[in-house]
Structure 1
Amino acid sequence: MSADQSQTPAGGPLIPLHCLQQAEPGPPRLAVLPTGTPVWLVTRHADVRQALTDPRLNRASLYAPDAPAVSLIPNILDDPDSLLNVDGAEHQRVRRTVQRAFTPRAIARWRPWVESVVDGLLDELVESGSPADVIAGFSRPLPVAVISRLLGLDGLDLRRLGHWSDHALSTTAYTVEEIVTAMREFGEFGYQLVLERRKNPGDDLVSSLLAAADETGGVSEAQLTSLVCGLVVAGHETTMTTLGNALVYLLGDDPAARTAWDRVGRDEESAAQATEQVLRSIPLGDATDALPGMLRRAVAEVEIGGVTIPAGSVVAADTGAANHDPEIYPDLGGIDLFAPLDTPSLTFGAGPHHCLGAWLARMELESGLHHLARRLPALRLAEPVGAIEWRTGLMTRSPLTLRVAW
């Protein structure tokens, strides 16, 4: 876990992410990245969506020779071979090798198995007795088990996986040397996995990726390795983080949240509605440790929200602010977990780089919340919210531990 996970800011303890104030939506405005590079901050829903879909703003140019520095410490987002950092025809070619495995229809086939994993973890959690740590017993092992099964990684040392993931997403938790070493080890793991599945293909996602890559052509070994490592991290980190943060909100003292907990456990449709609102309302991280948004760079002059963005400029699309834009999502005095989302949130991005694993994350969250609430309707926090230890120094923030009772 992160090196500074127990630290709190000088002003006091960290607050839950659902309590954070998001940036006020408005026209694009200039700000400064920690590197000193100027950045155009985009906050309104329509403007953020444009920034993520307009081909005049891309990822690859962030790493061009003339690009200004956008990060002080390298992390997995800075891999030039990753799917995230290629655009246009090359991006489409690489993306086609994996997207067929993550369609809603493909995800639906995995639901019975995922629900069996959920039930097994709940059996172990209940058997361990109350109180218990729901992070160690449920929200961390659930997505790890799912991605390990999909990638055929049974027997993987989970401590190594956590070590690699924390370094891959580090902002301030580790030194540059520590991150470089961990990423070298992680890359070697991914490369050896690709080589092994080429020799001995099986019924797993890595083997399917290799078969699709051979069929479409033009995908390098470095890109395949990067893709596998990215799937390992993204396949568990987002779900673990969101599930832990959702439980902080749902099991707290808010009477509306407690009522919602009962409804989430009663039927799967309510769990699905709540999942969408959780994904929209509760960010993955905060500005203390994360970038101000999804970064892009203008390859040509572009107008966003009535403001002209010069070519070569860095743009930060603040999806958290966009997901709270009052013009799209009126604030009715709190999170209404069962309000329909007439406009999809931008939590998973938009456009060519929309998150491939979005439907898998949704399914895991829906299943996890529904079965946990149904099995343990009296579940509650066993410690004050102010006493929660957080994973910090990373691009995401979630409880390190979360003691619950029933």
Structure 2
Amino acid sequence: MSSNTPIPYPFEWTPVMEVPGRLRGLHERAQVDVRLPSGDTAVMVTRYKDVRSLFADSRLSKNIARPGMARVSKDNDLFVDPKIDGDPPHHTAMRGLVTRAFTARRIERLRPFAQSVTDELLDAMEAGPKPADLNEALAFPLPILVICKLLGVPPEDRDKFRGLVDGFLSVSKLPPEEVEECRKGLWSYLADLIVAKRADPGDDLIGSLIKIRDEDDNRLSDYELHHWTQSLLIAGYVTTASQIGTGTAVLLHRRDLFEEVKADPSLVESAVEELLRTQIMGSSIGTLRYALTDIELSDGSVIKEGSSVLLSEEGANTDGSVFKDPFTIDIRRKENHHMTFGAGIHYCVGAALARMELQVATETLLRRFPDVRLAVPAEELPRGLGGFMEGFSEVPVTW
């Protein structure tokens, strides 16, 4: 192993509005030992070069339902599913089928819808009381309504599935029996939805996946169809919601950055990318792998066969050999090839959707509310500790 004393992970969020200070100096070694919320230890890979290459390395397996494998949570299996093959060639084939339905054209067609939803949500916020919680006013309902539209989930079910997803993603926040109830409830809800969609197919992503399931020679199994629907629903909602709320809070705290983007809306795109790079909304605890053999890293150290491996996106994103002044939020940063969406065959299928929603939300908020500001000191913003995402659970704003 790479060190004698494992570092508690996720890292503490200090300072409040910056990348965790624990990342400073982490890149002196290509790997360090970390202790996960479950109490298990894993090897964290820290350097950009290693993280990027290992995302596509067949010597690391995503099939982690193995004896002795570290777990993120002692009470929740999270994304561990022994019935789903997460490695090539099967994963590559299944991902190819899903990306056929998840096209760039379909995503771009959603931009006007995302804009209209954002406008309506901000209309309601403007008409409501001050201060308002930006999470409940915009950050969470926007991606929920967009993913409902994309997948074909009835919008009236959004509160129901939000509660189920939050339970599904509990790391230590909820007791195990409540986690299991949410996991079963979400699976059952989606099973009923797929049956309804098969009986009355529409022009939505679930309908497209059902068509692929029923007609393609390399078709998805019923279980894989169900699994991918669940994965897209979760990924398309919670990560983007957390990033909208927490990334916006950073901009409101850093008034110099806020004023810069407000004065030049063309900076929205690069600001969104830089806030994604700094990844203040959460950690990368979902990227555990299993080492099938010994693997040598850039500093000559070796990940031992059988190790549980964590590919640190935030470590890669703060690697000074790739990013100049990596702990500085630079909204004009060029060539920002951050690792927040992963890389290679495991690059996030929904990256384009997330970027579109983040751009729409940021541009519209700053244009509609040029005087918006945090209603409490940044140090008082509460984090949603104990969940898969650890962004701010409330973002009170006024204007």
User: Fold match, TM over 0.5?
Assistant: yes
Q: Taking structure 1 as reference, are residues 30 and 153 closer, same or farther at Cα in structure 2, changes over 3 Å only? A: closer
* 1:364-403 superposed Cα distances (whole Å, 9 cap, x missing partner): 0001100110111111111122222332210211222222
Does the CA-based 8 Å contact 1:245-1:399 persist in structure 2?
yes
Which structure 2 residues correspond to residues 270-289 of structure 1 after superposition, within 5 A? 270-286=267-283
Please, which of 16, 28, 32 is the counterpart of residue 31 of structure 2?
28
- Tell me, in whole angstroms, the C-alpha distance in 2 between the residues paired with 1:40 and 1:390: 26
Q: Secondary structure at the match of 2:75?
A: coil
Aligned-residue offset at 1:73 = 2.1
Q: Which residue of 2 aligns with 1:256?
A: 256
Q: Taking structure 1 as reference, are residues 33 and 376 closer, same or farther at Cα in structure 2, changes over 3 Å only? A: closer
Letter aligned with residue 312 of structure 1: G
Letter aligned with residue 303 of structure 2: I
Please, which of 343, 346, 355 is the counterpart of residue 350 of structure 1?
343
Q: Does 1:48 align with 2:45?
A: no
- Tell me, in whole angstroms, the C-alpha distance in 1 between the residues paired with 2:48 and 2:14: 27
- Tell me, in whole angstroms, the C-alpha distance in 2 between the residues paired with 1:145 and 1:36: 36
Q: Which residue of 1 aligns with 2:76?
A: 74
- Tell me, in whole angstroms, the C-alpha distance in 1 between the residues paired with 2:31 and 2:222: 39
* 1:73-129 superposed Cα distances (whole Å, 9 cap, x missing partner): 2243122345xx521121122212221233434322221221111112122211225
Structure 1, unaligned runs of 5 or more: 1-11
Q: Which residue of 2 aligns with 1:329?
A: 323
Which structure 2 residues correspond to residues 123-134 of structure 1 after superposition, within 5 A? 123-134=123-134
Q: Which residue of 1 aligns with 2:373?
A: 380
Please, which of 383, 386, 389 is the counterpart of residue 393 of structure 1?
386
Q: Which residue of 1 aligns with 2:116?
A: 116
Aligned-residue offset at 1:191 = 1.2
Q: How many residues align?
A: 382
* 1:249-291 superposed Cα distances (whole Å, 9 cap, x missing partner): 1111x3422323414xx43x311111111100133325xxx73
- Tell me, in whole angstroms, the C-alpha distance in 2 between the residues paired with 1:402 and 1:37: 33
Stretch of structure 1 that moved more, 241-250 or 298-307: 298-307
Q: Does 1:106 align with 2:106?
A: yes
Aligned-residue offset at 1:323 = 0.3
Structure 2, unaligned runs of 5 or more: 1-11
Q: Taking structure 1 as reference, are residues 13 and 48 closer, same or farther at Cα in structure 2, changes over 3 Å only? A: closer
Aligned-residue offset at 1:298 = 1.4
Aligned-residue offset at 1:233 = 1.2
- Tell me, in whole angstroms, the C-alpha distance in 2 between the residues paired with 1:258 and 1:352: 35
- Tell me, in whole angstroms, the C-alpha distance in 2 between the residues paired with 1:351 and 1:102: 17
Structure with more contact order per residue of length (Cα contacts < 8 Å, sep ≥ 6): 1
Aligned-residue offset at 1:182 = 1.0
Give the share of equivalent positions with the same residue, in percent.
31
Q: Taking structure 1 as reference, are residues 16 and 36 closer, same or farther at Cα in structure 2, changes over 3 Å only? A: closer
Q: Secondary structure at the match of 1:126?
A: helix
- Tell me, in whole angstroms, the C-alpha distance in 1 between the residues paired with 2:82 and 2:13: 37
Q: Secondary structure at the match of 1:251?
A: helix
- Tell me, in whole angstroms, the C-alpha distance in 1 between the residues paired with 2:142 and 2:194: 24
Q: Which residue of 1 aligns with 2:305?
A: 311
Letter aligned with residue 59 of structure 2: R
- Tell me, in whole angstroms, the C-alpha distance in 2 between the residues paired with 1:304 and 1:136: 43
- Tell me, in whole angstroms, the C-alpha distance in 1 between the residues paired with 2:13 and 2:328: 22
Q: Which residue of 1 aligns with 2:352?
A: 359
Q: Secondary structure at the match of 2:340?
A: coil
Q: Which residue of 1 aligns with 2:287?
A: 294
Aligned-residue offset at 1:49 = 0.9
Aligned-residue offset at 1:54 = 0.7
